Amino acid sequence: MVSDFKQPKLKSGETFPSVFVRNHWEIKEKKREAADKILKIVNAAWHEGRWSGSEQEYRSEVSILERTISTLTTDIIVLHTSYYEICGRVMDYYKTPQGARRALFTKRDKKTQYRFRADVLKAYNAFNDEGAVWCVISRKHLYPHSVKAAQIVRYNVGEVTAAHLFGPPDSRDGHLMGAKNAVPIHEYYEKLFDDGGLVIVPDTEAGPNCWKTQWLYGEKEKRPGGGDLLPSGRELHNRPLKFKNDFRPAARYLYFAYCMNLLRRQRHEAPGWWKGKGRLNAETNSLWGTPGGYMRTSTLRMLARRVGHSEEDEALAFSGESAADIAGGKERADSVHSDIASQASMKSLIPWHWRKDFGDLEVATDEEDEDEDEDEDEDEDEDEDEDEEEEEEEEEEEEEEEEEDEAYYTD
């Protein structure tokens, strides 16, 4: 009996492990491309009135597709960024790296988070004499625990991708952990930013280096959780920010966050939604100026294709590029870094008012989470000492926060 197996053709200088890994990621890219196409078809059918099912069925189908795309994107990033390591594993073990995605996004340690918040609040002169902390959106001094040093470009984007997007950092702390990559805001507003419903744009009418918020959802739509004392919903549209000193967030980070939020919304809206009134139309473009002054436009174009599901002509318009600009670009690098940037935002790609029904979009599937849990159980003994140290650090931080809050009320 003749076997149907065909030996893969090796390119010049390639070994079997390298062609094995290359074929593996090409298959995953084709699967992701297919899932993306289905998602576009489903969204188009809904917006054009051709969807035969209910709204609940439409949302459920979109959520399933987003989960599939998220998992495939994670695998593709790992295969791109850890190519040589994985080839070595294939050579040694002759198997695919099932647990590779666990190392994709690393967590900040507690001490680093605490220092970052302290640096940001100090830079913005956010504390008053009573220990309350200033929120630049509500324009009030608030309970210390409730005000966050909200990162503009997410930590999970990674410093390497941030350098590709923005160029060399100005701060010794890098792009992501520098104080200019954060604003002191109430936790309610931080959640709105994470959900893509609130953005910060230049307030040119007020003058240079002035900023205001814009509400991206509907006029009557209001996100619960703000309480009676915090402005919310349309009260946040064109609301000027108020700072306590001359320190300001970096415009390039705010521009990136603005574009990502628009693209996340565009993903499930009718084609061309981003050009609408109050978004990235001619008026808004004049507020921001030239995109190339803030970040690499070729990667922005790739993000428009990948996150916003834009066609090439719309992606060019979104990024401010022309067809001539594409020639000679770093297509491979832009592809990898746009994957990483989009995956860092992938958990929020489903609109917030859908997630009350379906829950947050997770990066890994349930079965993969179970596999990871089994691996973590095997490593428990090795991590026990580290866990005890983390618990001690958390207790120390809690004591410091309690003292801070106590001072706020007693003073």
Model confidence pLDDT, tens digit, residues 292-332:
578 888 888 888 888 888 888 888 888 877 666 665 556 66
Structure tokens at 351: 């609109």
95 with 160, same domain: the answer is no
Q: Is 115 a member of any domain?
A: no
Answer yes or no: do 89 and 165 share one domain. no
| Residue 66 within a domain | yes
Total domain count for the chain?
2
pLDDT in tens, 3-45: 443 444 545 555 555 666 677 778 888 998 899 899 989 998 9
Q: Which residues contact 213 (CB under 8 A, 6 or more apart)?
A: 137, 198, 199, 200, 201, 236, 237, 238, 239, 241
Please indicate, yes or no, if residue 94 is contained in any of the structural domains. Answer: yes
The sign one gets for the Cα dihedral 262, 165, 205, 239 is: positive
Closest CA to 214 of 194, 195, 235: 235
Domain that holds residue 156: 151-169+189-240+248-357
What's the rounded Cα separation, in Å, for the pair 203 and 181?
19
Report yes or no on 114 lying in a domain: no
Q: Tell me if 362 is assigned to some domain.
A: no
Residue 158 and residue 59 in one domain: no
Q: Write the CA distances from 80 to 10, 24, 75, 77, 307, integer angstroms.
A: 19, 11, 9, 5, 19
Counting residues of the chain whose pLDDT is more than 70, the rounded percentage is 61
Same domain, residue pair 92 and 155:
no
Main-chain dihedrals φ then ψ at residue 386, nearest 5 degrees? -65, -40
Task: Please report the pLDDT score of residue 369 as a whole number.
Answer: 41
The tally of CA atoms less than 13 A away on the side-chain side of residue 121 is: 24
| pLDDT reported for residue 204 | 85
Whether residues 163 and 35 fall in one domain: no
pTM: 0.66
CA atoms of 322 and 324, how far apart (whole Å): 5
Question: Do 95 and 161 share a domain, yes or no?
Answer: no
- HSE toward the beta carbon, residue 128, CA cutoff 13 A: 16
Q: What are the backbone angles phi and psi of residue 351, rounded to the nearest 5°?
A: -55, 145
Average pLDDT on 389-410 reads: 58
Answer yes or no: do 62 and 205 share one domain: no
Q: Answer yes or no: do 98 and 164 share one domain.
A: no
**Helix H or strand E segment including 201:** strand 198-202
Whether 161 and 23 map to the same domain: the answer is no
Torsion of CA 328, 333, 337, 342, to 10 degrees: 60
Average model confidence (pLDDT) for the chain? 74
Contact 300, 166 (CB under 8 A): no
> pLDDT tens digit string along 78-120?
776 655 455 454 444 443 334 444 334 455 678 888 999 999 9
Residue with tokens 């200088």: 13
Give the end of a domain, one of 317, 335, 357: 357
Query: CA–CA separation, 134 vs 273, rounded Å?
Result: 35
Specify whether 45 is located in the same domain as 160.
no
d(CA 24, CA 70): 17
Tens digit of each residue's pLDDT (9 = 90 or more) over 127-140: 999 999 999 999 99
pLDDT of residue 405: 53
Q: Are residues 82 and 224 in the same domain?
A: no
Residue 378: inside a domain? no
> What would the mean pLDDT of 230-241 be, rounded to a whole number?
90
119 in a structural domain: no
In the chain, the percentage of residues whose pLDDT exceeds 90 is: 22
Q: Alpha-carbon distance 329 to 311, whole Å?
A: 18
Tell me: pLDDT of 179 over 50: yes
User: Distance between CA 174 and CA 53 in Å, rounded?
Assistant: 49
**DSSP structural state of residue 233:** G
**Nearest to 361, CA basis, from 253, 267, 234:** 267
Asked if residue 385 is part of any domain, the answer here is no
Identify the band that residue 343 occupies on the pLDDT scale cut at 50, 70 and 90: confident
Same domain, 97 and 157: no
Range with the poorest average pLDDT among 122-131, 221-230, 362-371: 362-371
